[in-house]
A and B are shown apart, each in its own frame.
Chain A
C-alpha cells in the first residue's frame, strides 16, 4: 500500500464539453409560484447555470484545491484519495474527517489549516491535529468499487488507511452524513484504535425491542417529528437505494440535471433559512458540482444508499452501543426536530453534546470557526 502524491487536473476537453452542455441547457417548466416547494427552483437554477458557464473559473478553484497535499493509495484494490496535512508542534493528534452525500472532501477545506495549525489562526499549538480528509469510495477522486459497498466496509478501508498506510496507532474520527455512519462503524468495529469520535449527525438507530428502556416523551416527540419531516425529504434516498441506475443516466449526461438534483439538498439541509446565498456562494456550489461532474461520480456516490439498504448497519442489535467516547454537535437542519441527549445516549457513549446556534448539515463549510472550536473542545476533554 504505497501512497502517491496526487494532483488534480481536468483536461481542457472536459472543460469545453461542460461549457457546451451548459450552453444548450434545455429547461423544464415549473408550477406557477412553485418556488422551492417542488424542488430546485427554476429561477435560481438558471442563475446558477449561467454563473457556472460564464463566471465560474474552474482553473482558479483547481489551483486552490491543489494547494492541499493530496494523495492516493490502493487499499484492497480500491484507489482511495485523501488529503493529509501534518499538524504543527511535537504531538499533533491524528484526526480523520469523513464527508457524506452530496458532498465531498471539499466540505472540509476551510477547516484543514485551522485544525492542523491553530497557532496560525490565533489558537494554541497544543490543539493541533494531523488532518486526514478521505474521499468516500466512488466519490471524487476515490475509485468506484466494482459494486456498491456500505459504511461498514468503508470503515474497514479507513482503518487500514489510518493504521497501515499512515501508521497511526490511535486517532480521532469525525463525520457528518454518511461520514457519521462510517465513523460510527469504525467505532463499533475498531474501538481499540479510536480515542474518540465526533459527529454532526446521529446515524445509528437504537435497539427498540425487548429489554430497551421505553422512550421518554421528548424522544417520542423527536421520533415522530423526524418521521413527519422525512416524509417530504426521503424521495431522493428511496430512488438512490432502489433504482440508482435508472436515475444515473440523466445525472451523468446533464450537468444541469446533476445540479438540479443536488442544489435543493444544500438549500434544505444547510442553515440557509430560505436563502442559499446566505450560506453558499455560487462559486462554492459550482466547485462541488464540478467535482461530481468531472469525475462522473454521481452514480457510484449514490450507491451508498443501495449498499446501506443491503448492509443494514444503522440498526443496532440488543445491548449494542458505541463504546468509544463520543462528541455530538447538533446543528439545526431545516424544520427537523433536534434530538434529545437521551436519544444519543442510547447509541453512543456521549461525553460531549453541543447545541449549535447556527450552521447546518454542512457545518464545516457553513460555520468553520464554530466547527473547529467545538471539535477542539471535545478533544481537550478526552
Chain B
C-alpha cells in the first residue's frame, strides 16, 4: 500500500564529495587512437577537460541548491521509496502532469521546464496552461530506492499509478515522457486509460504487434525498421551489455567517476547531434549534475531496466492491442531513433498530434526546452476540462 509522502532534500555529505574529489584528482586516463575524436566513443580530450572542470570549477553545492528549489518527497509505493519533485501549478485548476525521464537521464533533465510548465504566467504565457508537475525518479535512479531485482517498465507503470492516485490523490492526469519514461508511460496509458487525460511522448515507447494477422508493413515502415536496426547495431551495444551482464559493467562505473561520466555523456553527445569532432551541445555543469545523480545513487540498478526487458518484460503490444489514450508525439531529428512513419505510430497509439522539431535530440527538455514546453501546452489544452 502507498505510504505517506516524506519531504526530501538533497543533502550530500562532505565526505562523499571529498572522496569524489580524490578519485577525480587521481584519474588514470586511457590512451586513444590517433585522431579518434568521438569516433570510438567518448573523446579523450573532452573527458580530460571535463575532469578538470569537475575539479576546478564545478560546484556541486550550487546545483544541489538548484535541485532543492523544487519541493521533493519520497513515498513508499509498491514497497519502494520513490523520490519525486512536485511543483504545484498556478491558478485554480492546474492539470497534473507526470514527467518521466529515462536512461541515462534523470529528473534533472526537467530542471529548466518545470517552472515554465507550472507557472506559465511568470514566463509571459497564460496561467490557464499551468500544470502541477510531478517528476519521479525511476526505481534505482537518483534518490529512489533500487528494486530488489530488475523491475520491468510495466511494473513501474503500476507504481506510478499508485503514486499519482493514492499518494497524491489525482484521479485524472496527463503524462509526458521520453526514453524509458515513454515505455512506462505507454504501459500506464494501456493499463489505466481511465486515469490518463492524454499522453505526450518524444519516443514511441510501445512497439506495435507486427506478427501474424497484422497489417503488413508498408515500404516506409519496412525502411524505418531496417534503418533502426542498423542504427542499433552501431549504437546499441550499451543495451546489450546492460541487458545481459550489467553486473560486470557496474564495478567500473561505480568506482570511477570519470568512467561513469564517459559511459553517460557519450550518449548525450551521440543522441543530440554531436559530431565526430564536436562536443556534446550541453553546458558541462549540467552534464556533470546529471552524472552526479548516478554517482550518488549508483548506476547499477538504473541499468537493470535493459535486463528486465530481455528477461520477460516487454515493449511490444499483443495482437489487437493499442493504446487508446489520446497521444501526442514530438520527434527530434537528432535522436537515437529517427522519426517513425505515421502509420507505424498509429498501429500502437491513438495518435492525435505529431510534430517534428527542426533540430535537437534525445534529451528534449534539456536541449530544446522552449519548443517542448510550447508543444506540451498546446497539446494538452484540448484535454483540460
Contacts and interface: CB of A to CB of B under 8 A. Distances in A.
Interface of A: 17, 20-21, 24-34, 38-42, 45, 144, 146-148, 231-236, 238-239, 241-254, 256-261, 263-264, 296, 298-300, 303, 306
Given A235-B241, A260-B249, A32 B30 contact: no
Given A243-B40, A244-B41, A260 B241 contact: no
Nearest to B269: A246
B255 A296 contact: no
B251 A254 contact: yes
Contact of B258 (A21, A249, A256, A264): A249
B1 interface: no
A264 B251 CA distance: 12
A28 B240 contact: no
A241 B28 CA distance: 22
Nearest to A17: B26
12 contacts: A38-B248, A147-B34, A235-B242, A245-B32, A248-B30, A250-B253, A250-B256, A252-B28, A253-B258, A257-B251, A260-B248, A261-B252
Contacts of A256: 251-252, 255
A31 B252 contact: no
Contact of A251 (B42, B243, B252): B252
B219 to A, nearest CB: 27
A38 B40 contact: no
B92 interface: no
Contacts of B256: 249-250, 253-254, 257
A256 B252 CA distance: 6
A300 B31 contact: yes
A296 B30 contact: yes
Contacts of B34: 146-147
A256 B259 CA distance: 12
Contact of A42 (B19, B28, B242, B247): B247
A30 B262 CA distance: 22
B245 A299 contact: no
B141 interface: no
Contacts of A249: 29-30, 42, 47, 256, 258-259, 261-263
Contacts of B252: 247, 250-251, 253-254, 256-258, 260-261
Interface string B30-44: 111111100011111
B150 interface: yes
Contact of A264 (B36, B248, B259, B262): B248
Interface in B224-262: 233-238, 240-256, 258-262
Secondary structure dominating the interface of A: helix
B131 interface: no
A245 B41 contact: yes
A144 B255 contact: no
A250 B256 CA distance: 6
A252 B30 contact: yes
Contacts of B19: 24, 26
Given A42-B247, A234-B240, A239-B237, A246 B41 contact: yes
Q: Name the interface size band of chain B.
A: 35 or more
Given A256-B255, A257-B259, A245 B42 contact: yes
B300 interface: yes
Contacts of B249: 39, 260-261
B262 A29 contact: no
Given A233-B244, A253-B29, A261-B248, 18 more contacts: A28-B250, A31-B150, A31-B247, A34-B247, A38-B307, A39-B246, A39-B247, A42-B247, A147-B34, A147-B36, A236-B245, A238-B237, A242-B233, A243-B40, A244-B40, A245-B33, A251-B252, A252-B30
B15 interface: no
B316 interface: no
A281 to B, nearest CB: 21
Contacts of A264: 245, 247-248
A236 B242 CA distance: 10
B107 interface: no
Given A250-B260, A296-B31, A245 B250 contact: no
B356 to A, nearest CB: 27
B241 A245 contact: no
Q: Chain B interface secondary structure, helix, strand, loop or mixed?
A: helix
B248 A247 contact: no
A296 B28 contact: yes
B27 interface: yes
- Nearest 9 CB-CB pairs, A to B? A257-B252, A250-B259, A260-B251, A250-B252, A39-B247, A39-B248, A246-B41, A245-B41, A235-B241
A87 B179 CA distance: 61
B42 A239 contact: no
A254 B255 contact: yes
A85 B74 CA distance: 66
Contact of B43 (A236, A245, A296): A245
B266 interface: yes
B241 A254 contact: no
Interface in B139-174: 146, 148-150
Nearest to A147: B33
Contacts of B198: none
Given A238-B237, A247-B41, A251-B259, A144 B149 contact: no
Nearest to B242: A235
Contact of A30 (B30, B238, B247): B247
A317 to B, nearest CB: 22
A242 B237 contact: yes
A10 to B, nearest CB: 14
Contacts of A257: 251-256, 259
B108 interface: no
B202 to A, nearest CB: 23
Nearest to A240: B237
A183 B189 CA distance: 56
Contact of B259 (A29, A45, A234, A253): A253
B77 interface: no
B249 to A, nearest CB: 7
Residue among A41, A239, A246, A296 with max Cβ neighbours from chain B (10 Å): A246
Contact of A38 (B22, B44, B236, B245): B245
Contact of A250 (B242, B245, B263): B263
B240 A245 contact: no
Nearest to A242: B237
Given A26-B255, A27-B254, A257-B255, A243 B245 contact: no
